[in-house]
Amino acid sequence: MYQSKIAGIGYYVPKNVYTNHDLTRFMDTSDEWIQERTGIQERRFADRYAETTTTMAIEAAKIAIERAKTTAQDIDFIVFATLSPDYYFPGCGVLLQREMGMHEIGALDVRNQCSGFVYALSVADQFIKTGMYKNILVVGSEKHSFAMDFETRSRNMSVIFGDGAGAVVLQPTQEKGKGILSTHLHSDGADAEILAMYYPGAHANKWMKDKPPFPDQELGGLFLTTEQLESGAALPYMDGPAVFKKAIVKFPEVIKEALSTHSFTEQDIDLLIPHQANFRISQYVQKLLGLDDNQVFNNIQKYGNTTAASVPIALCEAWEAGRIKDGNLICLAAFGSGFTWASALIRW
């Protein structure tokens, strides 16, 4: 059985920079308020019409493919993670395949929100290990800005998110002890509704029936009225404190699980790259695990939370900055809506 290695990596972020001060033009907030709660200073927003989740993914993929010393025609499978697809259906995987002129290869779309990239990496890892595929493109890409509500009522959500994409090319290796050592995936839907977007979907009726506004009963709960749309019924919802409490438990758990599987300790980690959800979460986890600043990489200050794109963007930035070297032990970890959480342990 083969091991999987990351043969190439790339990322793309839009050129449009929006600082916390810029957001004060649209809502009642401040740089101090945002930084105190999230650590975010600025984020990137894609061009409204010229850039999509897929086009950003393509830019990241081109870099990853080139660094892997291969071509788009050599890619034999795509795993695409996003919660903000170009279309509700079809998924972005086939759009990327089309635009990059790839062969009629398989394309799998992963909907695990902030944990999406680590889940996608795990899926790709299994295909490489069994020898089914030899060049798998794994992508995390998000365009949040087109769906964000930039009004005071939504500031708890809209100040957090940004746009961007990251990609890796996974290939087999027979170097003993190198590549992806293991991945660890978990979920618990008991509190799924505390971080969710209830519409579209009939299942929302179950959870929204006692929470106005609720769709017109005479229409069978199928439609949102103009008043309900204006009230924010179709916007994402997050109970921030509740999510924070769950994240600071599951993050360290899944990191320790990865380490203990291989009889490593926290001090064996050369670099931890957590999902960039909230700088305060990363700081808490770092302190809990007893890691120093050189063992953790954060870039949420510059990009905000790019959900499925955050881990590959941070991974690529860290590599480009020389923070990742041959032989290093790298841990990726993520926690997000669902709830889902995951980790991957990699010997670079």
Tens digit of pLDDT for each residue in 63-115?
999 999 999 999 999 999 999 999 999 999 999 999 999 999 999 999 999 99
Residues 6+ apart with CB under 8 A from 275: 114, 115, 118, 307, 310, 311, 333, 334, 335, 336
Enzyme catalytic residues: 114, 275, 305
Residue 325's closest CA among 301, 346, 298? 346
Q: Given the structure tokens 């380490």, which residue do they identify?
A: 259
Cis bond upstream, residue 213 (ω within 30): yes
Residue 289 is encoded by which pair of tokens? 């695990």
Between the alpha carbon of residue 123 and those of residues 6, 105, 340, the distances in Å are 14, 16, 15
| Percent of the chain topping pLDDT 90 | 81
CA distances to 261, 262, 295, 327, 331 from 265, rounded to whole Å, are 10, 9, 13, 16, 12
Same domain membership, residue 260 and residue 160: no
> In the prediction, which pLDDT does 228 show?
64
Domain shared by 24 and 158, yes or no = yes
Report the pLDDT value the prediction gives residue 210, as an integer from 0 to 100.
52
Of the listed ranges 88-92, 223-227, 334-338, the one predicted with least confidence: 223-227
As given in the structure block, the two tokens for residue 232 are 């924010």
Contact 10, 167 (CB under 8 A): yes
127-169 residue pLDDT tens = 999 999 999 999 999 999 988 888 898 888 899 999 999 999 9
Same domain, 100 and 225: no
Give the mean model confidence (pLDDT) for residues 306-317: 98
Residues 16 and 152 in one domain: yes
H-helix or E-strand spanning residue 192: none
| Number of domains into which the chain is organized | 3
Whether residue 91 is found in the same domain as residue 152: yes
Residues 227 and 135 in one domain: no
The secondary element (H helix, E strand) that includes residue 243 is helix 240-261
In a shared domain, residues 242 and 292: yes
Does the pLDDT of residue 324 top 60, yes or no?
yes
pLDDT category at 229 given cuts 50, 70, 90 is: low
**Centroid of chain to Cα 175:** 29
Are residues 318 and 210 both part of a single domain?
A: no
Residues 61 and 120 in one domain: yes
Q: Whole domain around residue 292: which residue ranges?
A: 179-190+238-347
User: What is the 3-state composition of the chain as percent helix, strand, coil, each rounded to the nearest 5?
Assistant: 40, 25, 35
Cα–Cα distance measured from residue 44 to residue 146, given in angstroms and rounded to the nearest whole number: 12
- 226: buried, middle or exposed (CB in 10 Å: 19+, 13-18, 0-12)? exposed
Give the mean model confidence (pLDDT) for residues 213-221.
45
Q: Are residues 339 and 229 in the same domain?
A: no
Q: Is 17 left (phi over 0), alpha (psi -120 to 50) or beta?
A: beta
Same domain, 140 and 13: yes
Residues 6 or more apart whose Cβ sits within 8 Å of residue 173: 2, 3, 4, 5, 179
Residue 322, domain CATH: 3.40.47.10
Q: Is there a single domain that holds both residue 160 and residue 268?
A: no
Q: Is 300 or 213 the better-scoring residue by pLDDT?
A: 300
